[in-house]
Amino acid sequence: MSAPGAWGGGGSGHGGSSANQDTAAQAQAEAKAKMFEERQQANQEAMKYFAAGVCGIIAIVALLHWTRRLFVGFERAHNAKKPPVWALPIVVVARKLRQFSLRRMPPFESAARFILIITYVGLNAVLLVTHIDTSSYATVAGNRAGWLAVGNLCVVVFLALKHTPMSPLSRISYEKLNPIHQLAGFFTIGLTIMHGVAYAVYFMSQDRAEMLRRPTVVSGIVAGFAMTLMGVVPLLTKTRFYEFFYIAHILTFIALIVATALHQPKTAEKMAIMTIVAGGIWAVDRIARFARIALNSFGNSATLYPLPAGGTRVILKRSPFGTTAGKHVFLWLPSISMFQTHPFSVVSVEDGQSEFVILSRRGFTAALHAHAQKHPGASIRASADGAYGAFPSPDSRHFDKVILVAGGSGASFTFGLVGNLLSHMETLASRASSRNEEAKTLDVDFIWAVRGQENLSWFAPSLRRMRNHPQAPNVNVSLHVTRLPSENSASGGETDEAPVLPDPEKLAPLASPLEDNGQHHELRASSSSSRTPASSDRNSACFDEKQLEAGLAATATTTAVHGDPRPGTSESGASSSCGSIEGHLLRPGRPDVAYLIDRAVEGTDPSKTVLIAACGPGGLTKVVREAAARNIRASGPGVELHSEVFGW
């Protein structure tokens, strides 16, 4: 009896041990599930804080913009009379803050951008290390990095939208957001790599390499490579092979969205929803752009005219809604390229038609110029998406003086803006005349540095309009040619009948001042400021970009004369000019932009408001920005800055 009892007792003991093991395994599984649930909740909470932080940054930027606009209006209203004592500290503090925000803070172009980037990076850094389980920090931080990577992906896509909500909120167009888009993209790549490396190391250390072959994990690896390629490919190709970069960027983005969705496909875990949001807003933006191109294609065409030295003038028959000179549109010319659109600045708008001046470089622009040469004056099917760009209103109620500075093909922007200013002044003059009142006018300084005289001929119609416009006396034109043919360098004559231009057949090959997509600009210097304009032109070759930026940064006073002297009234005599075009004198050598801006602002009454607008290469806009910041003083005129440096 005892044996069976013992055996039975033994059997009961083994059964109890198995039950205990099952209970322990179940408890362990429940603890693990609870841990994952808590991690999931913590990650979702972190993403709520991330979304709130990003929205907060956007709200602050918008608030600062509208506060500045209100302050400028307040300042303008009080400048006409002696401001109250209580307003003086506000003016001083506001101008000091504005001056600080414009100052360059390497590697960023301004202190304002530096603060914005540091705030954004700080938000990510705080969320990466807070409210996580430190007992298994590597995998938990890697998991949090994955969530933040997807959250940042949404921000990157938001910053890339052409129809960005930032435009109505703060008058910031998409191209102004492009540098921040790029920085946010590289930060997203860093988080993606951190996420992938953390999990790869964990799986390998736990001898679970087979996990790396699971379909969801493979999808994550594909997403990581796609994200990395989106950052690496532009660095290698976007400047020299824009078309390849553009196509590759779109394809890798689509691959990234699809792979990320397959990596985390469960909508209950929320990450899939974030992926859908990122892909969705991009798709909506693309559909909207496609719809605008389709709508603007009805009854539309473009007429092409070849220009000397690789230029092409394009006249778009029907401009997109909202197109004004100085803005830019994405041109679609299917006979040149069926599946591509390229952005170009609008030089002028007349009778609903838009004018563009485009330099041939390679790819699309080379094909466009070749077609214009083969079929001059031909009309081809065309459409456009746009217009894009946000710049200050030319309303003279806000500004008393406008200083326009352009380098190379940046003149497309400044010619457009000066055209708007002239039209606005003419409207005011007509209105004042009908009321027997004195018209309020603007003083405009137009400074343009161009590499060769042949490029001046591209904008001859615009120069002619500036010369013959009824409001022309209010515009001072300063044209500087940094490289001239030797046979014309000593020429000081001027004629109103025709521009003094070299024979295009005798010109040396011209290096392009305009990048392939029509939005990049470069300027070359041909002299140091210590030499006279005439001698510098005779004896010098073109500097490279580094020399240019170093030269533009110099503060020595140039001998080039600011203004548009009429025949026989040149302030510096014949030796200071090298010919003329459309009645405007040409000055050899680069202008001392900083000095010209300083002199123009110093000559403005403290009760007035000055707008400085610039478009050109980074070296030029850097000098203009520093000059604007330097001239923001408590006792001086109000100074506003608008700069255009189009990127890819």
- Give how far Cα 57 sits from Cα of 50, 106, 117, 329, Å: 11, 22, 10, 29
Q: What is the model's pLDDT at position 589?
A: 85
Residue 19, pLDDT > 80, answer no
Q: What is the model's pLDDT at position 445?
A: 93
Residue 462, pLDDT > 80, answer yes
Query: Coil, strand, or helix at residue 573?
Result: coil
Angle among Cα 641, 238, 451 to the nearest 5 degrees reads 55
Residue 284, pLDDT > 90, answer yes
Mean pLDDT calculated for residue range 340-353:
88
Residues in the chain: 648
Mean pLDDT calculated for residue range 43-47:
89
Q: What is the model's pLDDT at position 149?
A: 94
Query: Coil, strand, or helix at residue 447?
Result: strand
Confirm if 648 and 239 have CB atoms less than 8 A apart.
yes
In tens, the pLDDT along 53-86 reads 999 999 998 888 888 777 766 666 555 555 566 6
Confirm if 237 and 244 have CB atoms less than 8 A apart.
yes
Among 165-179, 425-439, 487-501, 630-644, name the one with the lowest average pLDDT.
487-501
Residue 302 phi, psi (nearest 5): -130, 135
Higher pLDDT, 313 or 507: 313
Residue 275 identity (one-letter amino acid): T
- Kindly report the average pLDDT of the chain as a whole number: 77
- Bridging pattern class, strands 383-388 and 311-316: unpaired
Q: What is the model's pLDDT at position 559?
A: 33
Mean pLDDT calculated for residue range 165-172:
79
pLDDT class of 646 with cuts at 50, 70, 90: low
Angle among Cα 519, 161, 289 to the nearest 5 degrees reads 80
Mean pLDDT calculated for residue range 156-170:
86
Measure the CA–CA gap between 414 and 644, rounded to whole angstroms.
Answer: 10
> Which of 17-21, 85-89, 367-371, 410-414 has maximum average pLDDT?
367-371
Q: What is the model's pLDDT at position 104?
A: 84
Q: Which residues pair with 475 in a beta bridge?
A: 444
Distance of alpha carbon 160 from the chain centroid:
11
Q: Both tokens of residue 143?
A: 């998991």
Q: What percent of the chain has pLDDT over 90?
A: 28
Measure the CA–CA gap between 552 and 319, rounded to whole angstroms.
Answer: 36
Mean pLDDT calculated for residue range 86-90:
68
Q: What is the model's pLDDT at position 73?
A: 65
CA dihedral 252, 254, 258, 261 (to 10 degrees): 100
Q: What is the model's pLDDT at position 534?
A: 34
With CA atoms as reference, report the closest residue to 322 among 300, 301, 349. 349
In tens, the pLDDT along 228-270 reads 999 999 888 887 888 888 899 999 999 999 999 999 888 777 7
Higher pLDDT, 349 or 132: 349
With CA atoms as reference, report the closest residue to 513 among 327, 355, 360, 305. 360
Q: What is the model's pLDDT at position 294?
A: 94
Q: What is the model's pLDDT at position 466?
A: 87
Higher pLDDT, 341 or 389: 341
Q: For residue 387, is the peptide bond before it cis, meaning its omega torsion is within 30 degrees of 0?
A: yes
Residue 501, pLDDT > 80, answer no
171: left (phi over 0), alpha (psi -120 to 50) or beta: left
Measure the CA–CA gap between 136 and 176, rounded to whole angstroms.
Answer: 41
CA dihedral 201, 207, 210, 211 (to 10 degrees): -50
> Which of 131-135, 470-474, 514-518 has maximum average pLDDT?
470-474
Higher pLDDT, 239 or 488: 239
> Which of 132-141, 372-381, 524-533 has maximum average pLDDT?
372-381
Q: What is the model's pLDDT at position 288?
A: 93
Tell me which DSSP letter residue 562 carries.
P
With CA atoms as reference, report the closest residue to 401 among 637, 94, 560, 574. 637
283-286: long-range pairs with CB below 8 Å, 24+? 285/161, 285/162, 285/163
pTM: 0.75
In tens, the pLDDT along 185-237 reads 999 999 999 999 988 888 888 888 888 889 989 999 999 999 999 999 988 88
Measure the CA–CA gap between 159 and 157, rounded to whole angstroms.
Answer: 5
Tell me which DSSP letter residue 1 carries.
-
Q: What percent of the chain has pLDDT over 70?
A: 75
pLDDT class of 283 with cuts at 50, 70, 90: very high
Among 358-367, 553-562, 623-632, name the one with the lowest average pLDDT.
553-562
Q: What is the model's pLDDT at position 395?
A: 53
With CA atoms as reference, report the closest residue to 309 among 247, 234, 359. 359
Q: What is the model's pLDDT at position 316?
A: 95
Residue 379, pLDDT > 90, answer yes
With CA atoms as reference, report the closest residue to 127 among 147, 109, 105, 113. 147
Contacts of residue 36, defined as CB under 8 A and 6 or more positions apart, other chains included, come to none
Contacts of residue 124, defined as CB under 8 A and 6 or more positions apart, other chains included, come to 50, 148, 152, 187, 191
Residue 497, pLDDT > 90, answer no
Domains belonging to the chain, first-starting first, are: 35-198 (no CATH), 297-388 (2.40.30.10), 401-644 (3.40.50.80)
Q: What is the model's pLDDT at position 18?
A: 66
- For 390, counting Cβ atoms within 10 Å of its Cβ (0-12 exposed, 13-18 middle, 19+ buried), the class is middle
Q: What is the model's pLDDT at position 432?
A: 81
- For 607, counting Cβ atoms within 10 Å of its Cβ (0-12 exposed, 13-18 middle, 19+ buried), the class is middle
Residue 228 identity (one-letter amino acid): T
Mean pLDDT calculated for residue range 498-507:
33
148: left (phi over 0), alpha (psi -120 to 50) or beta: alpha
